Structure 1
Amino acid sequence: MPRILLVECMQEISSFNPLQSGYDHFAVQPGEALYRQAGLNTAMGGALEVFRGAPGVETVPAYGARAGSAGLLSRAGWARLSGELVQAVAANVAGVSGIYVSMHGAMGADGELDPEGFLLSEIRRLAGPDVPIVVSLDLHGILTDRMLRQVDGLALYHTYPHVDFADTGARAARLLLRLMARPAPAAIVRVVIPALVRGDELITKSGCYGDLIRECQRLERDGTALAAGIMIGNPFTDVPELCSQVIVMTDGDVARAQQEATRLAEEFWAQRFRMQGKLIPIGRAIAQAKTMAGPVLFTDAADATSSGASGDSNLILHALREAGYDKRALAQIVDPGAARAAHAAGVGATIDVTLGGCHDKARFPPMPVRAQVRLLSDGRARLETMRSGLEAGPTAVLTYDNTTVVVLSRSVSLFDRAMYYSVGLNPRDFDLIVVKSPHTEHHMYDEWVEKNFNIDVPGATSANVKALGHTICARPMYPLDEDIAFTPAPQVYARRGTVP
């Protein structure tokens, strides 16, 4: 009976978040606890459904670890996490016929800037050269040379905002089953593109990036490629191989893989100017919002916790107060001190606290407010799309003037309405809503707000990538550098035999 080893390790980091993350940021699922993802819209959940439907296949769950986006993983956290994962693989790898690994691709740790490459190298060492390994990755991942040298196949997200988590895991699982049944030579070709991109043109349903992704999907669906995708990296993960890249995998037809990867890379490069963030100054946005019937959305992509920011930016709240915005405003912020003070005072109390700047004081000076405690919670919620849990720690709803703020103790993904709903707040009841995410699914806000303002304020995940201060990634790199010449140079990776 074929036995498939299951492994997961997922985190995305911003190198520009001054607060490091740790082991405690991860939800760890050792052994059979990994099966709790069955039925969830996660890559592992999708893979489990395929494997369970494959006759005669046995799965061997080794280790799972998932963390929300945050700052660089601490040295101690990385040592414990990687040690546990490698130990779990070593204890379960004997006799397996294939290995599925679910990853994000934009991890970064103190002392190891290619954590996924390290882990895949260790898994390959333990498994030996003949066991096929297939990995699934976020399109915001950074696929490195070391990673590609360990794997036999891959599957990449095709949607942004991401909704195809389970679908990607299912594609990875089907590819692994194929490689196990037909261990013929296969080639993975990549073309590295020296460009960092951001902005609305990356929305796959409507943007030019989505047009290119649909070409990748076509290549997979019509049989031209076993896998295809365009990874745009996470521009906030400042690591040596940060870039955009086209990936095409074929069943030995390396010439066709090179041809398609080159074509897609050239089309992507020609549109790099369009794929940049379009930002509006905060003062202008507020002035316009005052005159609108609303509601309006203020997108604080610069403090996007789902991209690795600290979540403690108060810049929009401060600007609204300074500008005298007097309609109903709703926002979220990470501030464990303010949440702790609210819990100590109790519902109904009036407290003098500061909001924001608890982690990133250099960007966000703490803002004093006199607020009323309206509600207290344990900070538990469930994401709308993935249905996976959120643990924001002690949470409070504070009100001051015309503003309602959900104060969280810990950073969690805020790319939907989960943390608003969890404390009984409906964004539709407000005139202005702040969302700490570059994009959300269309129905969540854009479908019903009068205008979505992408606010230009500083932060660890600002779409103004030139202002972030990259020091590690390869240069030249657009838009960090201008007048860059680009000639596609396909790189071929083939682990199994000789590719024609």
Structure 2
Amino acid sequence: MPRILIAECMQEISSFNPLPSRYENFHIERGDELYGRRGLNTSIGGALAVFEAQPDISIVPAISAHAGSAGLLAADAWQKLSREILDAVRDSVDGLDGIYVSLHGAMGAEGELDPEGNLLTEIRRMAGPDVPIVVSLDLHGILTDRMLRQIDGLAIYHTYPHVDFADTGERAARLLLQLMRGGIKPIIARVVIPALVRGDELITRTGCYGDLIGECRRIERDGTAMAAGIMIGNPFTDVPELCSQVLVMTNGDVGAAEREATRIAEEFWPQRFRMQGKLISLDRAIAQAASIDGPVIFTDAADATSSGATGDSNVILRALRDARYGKRVLAQIVDPSAAEAAHRAGVGAIIEVDLGGYFDKRRFAPMRVRAKVRLLSDGQSRLETMKTPLDAGPTAVLTFGNFTVVVFSNSISLFDRAMYYANGLNPVDFDLIVVKSPHTEHHMYDGWVAKNFNVDAPGSTSANLKSLGHTICARPIYPLDEGVTFEPNAVIYDRSLTNHQSR
């Protein structure tokens, strides 16, 4: 009976977050614990649905390690994590017929700026040259040359905001089964585009990026390609191969892979101007919000925890207070000290605390507030789309004046409404809601608010990319540099050869 190993390692980092990520940030599942993903909208959940539908397949669940977005992973944490993952693979590697690895692609560790490439290199060494390896990736990942040299196939998210987690796992699983049956010569073409992109045009339902993704989907469906995608990287992960890139995989057809990857890259390049964040100054946003009757959103993409920021920015709260904005405000912030003080005082107590500026002290100064403790919780919830758990640690709802703020102890993804709901709050009951995410699914906010203000605020995930200070990624690259040019060059990866070929 053919044996397929499943492994996962997922984290997205911001190199500009001053708080290092630790081993303790990772949730580790081992062996049969991975079956807990059945039916969930996750890559492993989708892959399991495909594999378990095959009666002649033996699944070997090895390990899953996933963590919320954060700063660069500390060296000792990476050493411990990588050793644990590779040990789990090593224990089951004998007699494998296929390997599926679920990755994000935008990891970074102190002393190892290509962690996924490191893992795949070691997995390939253990498995040998003939066992097919297929990976799934977030479109915000950075697929490196080292990674491409180890794999036989790939599946990349096709949606943003992401809703196709399980679908991507299903595509990866079906591709792996095809490769295991034999008779296929996988060819992958890669075209690197020297551009970093951000902004509303990346929303695949409505933006020009989605139109290009549509071409990737079309050539998958009509059989031109076995897999195709456009990875735009995470502009906050400052690593050597940070870029946008087009990937096209075919069955032995080098010409088609090269042609399609080049064509889509050439269509992408002139639209890089559109694919930039359109920011509004904070003072102007506040003035306009005060004059709008309906509810509004203040998008704080610069402090997006799901992109790797600290979550402790109080810049918007301070500006609203200083401007005497008088309508009802709902916001979230990460501040373990303030949360602890609230839990110590108890519900109903009036406390004076410093709010914000707990981690990123260079960017944010603590804001003193006198607040009432309205509610205390354990900070447990589940993401709306993925249904995977959230653990914000001891959490408190503080109110002061017209402000209601949910205060967390741990940084968690805030790209939906889960933590508002879990703490007894409904955004529709407020006039201004702060969302610490560049985008959310349309129905969550944009479908019912009068206006979404993408405010220009400081933070380690600011869409004002020039303000961040990249020092590692390859230059020149748009928009960090002026006069960047692009001449598409398709690099062909063919593992049947000793080395990949460039055409």
Shift of 1:54: 1.5
TM-score by length of 1: 0.99
| Equivalent in the alignment of 1:17 | 17
Would you say 1:237 and 2:240 are equivalent positions? Answer: no
| Equivalent in the alignment of 2:477 | 477
| Equivalent in the alignment of 1:399 | 399
Would you say 1:289 and 2:275 are equivalent positions? Answer: no
| Equivalent in the alignment of 1:76 | 76
Cα distance per residue 1:244-274 (max 9 Å; x no partner): 0000000000101100000000100010000
Aligned counterparts of 1:24 and 1:485: Cα–Cα separation in 2 = 43
| Equivalent in the alignment of 1:301 | 301
For the residue of structure 1 that corresponds to 2:369, the secondary structure is strand
TM-score by length of 2: 0.99
For the residue of structure 1 that corresponds to 2:337, the secondary structure is helix
1:79-478 alignment runs, 5 A limit: 79-478=79-478
For the residue of structure 2 that corresponds to 1:236, the secondary structure is coil
For the residue of structure 1 that corresponds to 2:78, the secondary structure is helix
Instruction: Tell me whether 40-49 or 488-497 shows the greater mean CA deviation.
Output: 488-497
Q: Is the 8 A contact 1:184 1:496 kept in 2?
A: no
For the residue of structure 2 that corresponds to 1:267, the secondary structure is helix
Aligned counterparts of 2:394 and 2:262: Cα–Cα separation in 1 = 50
Shift of 1:76: 1.3
For the residue of structure 2 that corresponds to 1:449, the secondary structure is coil
Cα distance per residue 1:150-197 (max 9 Å; x no partner): 000000000000000000000000000000002432100000000000
Aligned counterparts of 1:24 and 1:183: Cα–Cα separation in 2 = 44
For the residue of structure 2 that corresponds to 1:174, the secondary structure is helix
Structure 2, gaps ≥5 residues long: none
Q: Is the 8 A contact 1:185 1:497 kept in 2?
A: no
For the residue of structure 1 that corresponds to 2:24, the secondary structure is helix
| Equivalent in the alignment of 1:55 | 55
Whichever residue aligns with residue 354 of structure 1, its letter is D
Cα distance per residue 1:277-299 (max 9 Å; x no partner): 00000000000000111200000
Aligned counterparts of 1:277 and 1:37: Cα–Cα separation in 2 = 35
Cα distance per residue 1:93-148 (max 9 Å; x no partner): 11010000000000000110000000000100110000000000000000000000
Shift of 1:497: 5.5
Aligned counterparts of 1:176 and 1:446: Cα–Cα separation in 2 = 38
Whichever residue aligns with residue 336 of structure 2, its letter is P
Instruction: Tell me whether 179-188 or 36-45 shows the greater mean CA deviation.
Output: 179-188
Whichever residue aligns with residue 228 of structure 1, its letter is A
Aligned counterparts of 1:294 and 1:465: Cα–Cα separation in 2 = 31
Q: Is the 8 A contact 1:355 1:366 kept in 2?
A: yes
Cα distance per residue 1:409-460 (max 9 Å; x no partner): 0000000000000001000000000000000000000000000000000100
For the residue of structure 1 that corresponds to 2:52, the secondary structure is helix
For the residue of structure 2 that corresponds to 1:453, the secondary structure is strand
| Equivalent in the alignment of 1:43 | 43
Shift of 1:198: 0.1
Cα distance per residue 1:14-44 (max 9 Å; x no partner): 0000000111111100111111111110000
Aligned counterparts of 1:295 and 1:457: Cα–Cα separation in 2 = 21
Aligned counterparts of 1:356 and 1:491: Cα–Cα separation in 2 = 46
Aligned counterparts of 1:294 and 1:184: Cα–Cα separation in 2 = 57
Cα distance per residue 1:211-264 (max 9 Å; x no partner): 000000001011000000000000000000000000000000010110000000
Whichever residue aligns with residue 336 of structure 1, its letter is P
Whichever residue aligns with residue 339 of structure 2, its letter is A
For the residue of structure 2 that corresponds to 1:224, the secondary structure is coil
Aligned counterparts of 2:85 and 2:271: Cα–Cα separation in 1 = 40
State the percentage of identical aligned residues. 72
Cα distance per residue 1:60-106 (max 9 Å; x no partner): 01110110111111111111110000000000111010000000000
For the residue of structure 1 that corresponds to 2:229, the secondary structure is strand
Aligned counterparts of 1:240 and 1:413: Cα–Cα separation in 2 = 26
Moved over 4 A (4+): 497-500
Cα distance per residue 1:284-341 (max 9 Å; x no partner): 0000000111200000000000000000000000000000001000000000000000
Instruction: Output the aligned Cα RMSD.
Output: 1.0
For the residue of structure 1 that corresponds to 2:477, the secondary structure is coil
Aligned counterparts of 2:22 and 2:427: Cα–Cα separation in 1 = 32
Aligned counterparts of 2:411 and 2:313: Cα–Cα separation in 1 = 12
Instruction: Tell me whether 399-408 or 54-63 shows the greater mean CA deviation.
Output: 54-63
